[in-house]
Amino acid sequence: MKMSPEYTKAQANMQPGVITSDGFLGNDERPIVEIIADDEAEMKRASLEFDETVALMRHLLNESRKGLGEPVTVDGKWIVQAFEARGFLASPFEDGIFRKINAKVTLIHEGEPTEHSILYSDLSLHLIEKRHFFQGKGGSFRISPAAIKRVLFAD
Amino acid sequence: METSGAIIQAFIAPLVIGGISAVLGALISITDKIVNNYGDLVIDINSGKRELEIKGGAALLLTLAENGIFIPSACGGRGSCGACKVKVVSDIGPHLPTETPFLAKEEMADNIRLSCQVKVKENFQIEIPDSLFNVKQYEGTIERIVNLTHDIKEVYVKLPEGEEIDFVCGQYGQFEAPPYNKIKTPTQRAYSMSSAPSDKNHLEFLIRLVPGGIVTTYVHERLTEGQKINVVGPFGDFNVKDTGATMIGVAGGSGMAPFKSIFNHMTDTGEIQTREIWYFFGARTKDDLFYLDWLNELDAKYEKFHFVAALSEPQPEDDWEGETGLITEVLARYLAERVDRTQPVEGYLCGSPGMLDACMAVMRQFDMREDKIYFDKFA
């Protein structure tokens, strides 16, 4: 799959040591357009809409900040915790900079936290919203559409 | 014939491409050496207080560190933390786009630069706080690791034999994780010292696991007792002012660190008996609390020391009879009803940027002066 110069540059920026020490691609060696296409197909199979997913993730990120660094229970469904650090991270697509805020969202079942959780940052949200990019497999901030379905849209 | 031609082509083509790549690589390397060779240069620090003779071409942050001058940096020179600010007196051209998001207008007007982004290509004159001359790198040994909660470890580091460190309570050190997994370079992160300054041969840190965090993951999953580790410090100007004013301290999680150092130091000096101190510590459940016995003992022993722990989501099994709610809510209640605000009051905060902002909003609401609220916003 051929990549535009913009995506080629973004893939270079995603390597370990450029923007973050461990990069955005984990051990995934696919071109990012392929990663995006595969995840878009998986989102479709899981009947997930990007807008709805991003809106819920942003809501949980905002709620997590209210805990002032400690975990908080949101809507009785999730325990969320914000981790904030000083500074900003640049988008690998060079289309913005984002505060260093991560949220860990853990699904609650029958009042107890489960082992199902997702971790994402303000930058991750931007990449999902604008580029449909969930990061490469094996990366610390990779979220698969399946994990999103399991944690955010559990029945 | 066609087959053998194809085989020759299959062998020759990669060789030709490889040869061209090698030549191009050599050319780039030679060009880089010529173009980026800025020769022998001098960095003048604080109007002649120190002069460094250096080879030009590298980032200012790295060049200074190689010469034993350590500028604080929380991201290892990647341009994402904005901590490594230095005043460059020489005219070295306009600010770079990678610097401007981290600089206020006044800082830009004052020639403040991010030292990780500025390359040394000519003789430089810079200004740094004199305190940075005291910053050193130590190769310490991990003497003890204690699990304080499910996600906070107390890490006690012994400095090399014969070496001592002088620091002020509230200052921080940069703790370095060596390369591991896909991380190819050492990574440093800033943590407040929790040890007392009188313990000059050791440094102690409280390190909370941050999911996805490079250094905290290393500390929680790989660090072992007896291991050698690099620590750089001391940094920071967060410290207790010698005013005698009532001290309102607020922390959560590993934000406990500077307060442990401060209260142990005050116990050593006797200030804990003479100064009014309120210490608010927030956690979600009882499992997230630690050092309770020590802090309750200080509260019981010293009339002017008041410890208030609050749980935001106490669980039934916690059997908690203490304060409940977010620490900001509890702080507001105490400022309204319990703390004597007719006396001078100072705020001391340690936590995430969000927690600091929320506490400052409460303190301002109770007419505490912003210039009397102290913190290090490095999270």
The 10s digit of each residue's pLDDT in B112-136 is 999 999 999 999 899 999 999 999 9
- Residue of B182, B211, B284 lying closest to A119 (CB–CB): B211
Nearest to B101 among A68, A85, A88 (CB): A88
Q: Which residue in the set A23, A68, A71 is minimally distant from B328, CB to CB?
A: A68
Closest chain A C-alpha to B178 CA, distance in angstroms? 12
Which of A26, A84, A119 has its CB closest to that of B353?
A: A84
- Arithmetic mean of pLDDT, B314-326: 95
Res. B233 pLDDT band, cuts 50 70 90: very high
Chain B residues lying within 8 Å of A105, measured CB to CB: none
Q: Nearest to residue B275, comparing CAs of B242, B300, B244?
A: B244
B170 at the A interface (CB within 8 A)? no
pLDDT beyond 70 at B28:
no
Region for residue A144 given its phi and psi (left: phi exceeds 0; alpha: psi -120 to 50; beta: otherwise): beta
Q: Under 8 Å CB-to-CB from A74, ≥6 apart: which residues? A: A60, A63, A64, A80
Q: How confident is the model at residue B7 (pLDDT cuts 50, 70, 90)?
A: low
Q: How far does the CA of residue B5 sit from the closest CA of chain A (Å)?
A: 30
Distance from CA of A17 to the nearest CA of B (A): 8
* Low-confidence winner among A86-100, B15-29, B201-215 (lowest mean pLDDT): B15-29
Chain A hits for B360, CB-CB cut-off 8 Å, are none
Residue of A nearest to B179 (CA): A21
Window B:73-92, CB contacts with A under 8 Å:
74-76, 78-83
Q: Which of A15, A18, A68 to mutate to test the interface with B (most CBs of B within 10 A)?
A: A68
Q: Chain-wide mean pLDDT for chain B? A: 91
Measure the CA–CA gap between B275 and B57, rounded to whole angstroms. 52
Region B198-214: mean pLDDT is 94
Quick check: B72 contacting A, CB < 8 Å?
no
Q: What is the mean pLDDT of residues B195-204?
A: 97
Quick check: B148 contacting A, CB < 8 Å? no
Nearest-by-CA chain B residue for A24: B182
Residues carrying CATH 2.40.30.10, chain B: 135-235
Q: Which amino acid, residue A108?
A: I
Token couple for B139: 């190769």
CATH code for the domain defined by B40-131: 3.10.20.30
The domain tally of chain A equals 1
Token digits of residue B325: 């709610």
Neighbours of B135 (CB within 10 A): 23
Using CB atoms, which residue from B212, B288, B352 is nearest to A68? B352
Question: Averaged over A89-110, what is the pLDDT?
Answer: 92
Model confidence pLDDT, tens digit, residues A17-41: 788 878 999 999 999 999 999 999 9
CATH code: domain B246-375 is: 3.40.50.80
pLDDT at residue B15, as a whole number: 61
pLDDT at residue B379, rounded to an integer: 46
**pLDDT at site A144:** 95
Closest CB from B79, B282, B378 relative to A70:
B282
In terms of Cβ atoms closer than 10 Å to its own Cβ (0-12, 13-18, 19+), residue A139 is buried
Q: Which residue has the higher pLDDT, A64 or B80?
A: A64
Compute the nearest-CA separation of B270 from chain A (Å): 32
Cross-chain Cβ contact B328/A17 below 8 Å: no
pLDDT at A17: 79
CATH number for the region B135-235 comes to 2.40.30.10
The range of the structural domain enclosing residue A21 comes to 5-152
Residue B30, pLDDT score: 63
B63 pLDDT more than 70: yes
Q: Which residue has the tokens 């860990």?
A: A104
pLDDT of residue B260: 98
The residue in chain A having the minimum alpha-carbon distance to the alpha carbon of residue B76 is A21
What ipTM does the predicted assembly reach?
0.84
Please indicate whether, in this complex, the C-beta atoms of A85 and B81 are within 8 angstroms of each other: yes
Inspect the interface and report whether the beta carbons of A66 and B253 lie closer than 8 Å: no
Give the pLDDT score at A57: 98
Q: Which of residues 28-57 of A touch B (CB under 8 A)?
A: none
Quick one: average pLDDT of B246-251?
A: 97
Distances (CA, A) of B88 to B60, B85, B93, B113, B125: 10, 9, 10, 7, 6
How far B360 CA sits from the closest chain A CA (Å)?
A: 12
CB contact under 8 A, A70 and B312: yes
CA distance B216 to chain A (A): 12
Q: Where in chain B is the domain with CATH 3.40.50.80?
A: 246-375
Q: What is the mean pLDDT of residues A117-135?
A: 97
Check residue B296 and give its pLDDT: 98
Are A85 and B74 inside 8 Å of each other by CB?
yes
Q: Tell me how far CA of residue B124 lies from CA of B45, B53, B114, B188, in angstroms.
A: 8, 11, 14, 26
Chain A partners within 8 Å of B328 (Cβ): 68
Q: Indicate the pLDDT class of residue B1, thresholds 50, 70 and 90.
A: very low
Write out the E strands in chain B: 40-45, 50-55, 85-88, 112-114, 124-127, 136-147, 152-158, 172-177, 187-192, 202-208, 228-235, 246-252, 277-283, 305-311, 323-324, 345-350, 373-375
Q: Which residue of A has its CA nearest to B254?
A: A69
B284 has a chain A CB within 8 A of its CB: yes
Q: Where in chain B is CATH 3.10.20.30? A: 40-131
Against a cut of 0.80, is the pTM above it? Answer: yes
Q: Are residues A23 and B210, on separate chains, in Cβ contact within 8 Å?
A: no
Q: What is the pLDDT of residues B256-308, one digit of tens each?
A: 999 999 999 999 999 999 999 999 999 999 999 999 999 999 999 999 999 99
- Residue A69: list chain B partners with CB under 8 A: 252-253, 255, 351-352, 354-355
Tell me if chain A has a CB within 8 Å of the CB of B351: yes
Please indicate if any CB of chain B lies within 8 Å of the CB of A89: yes
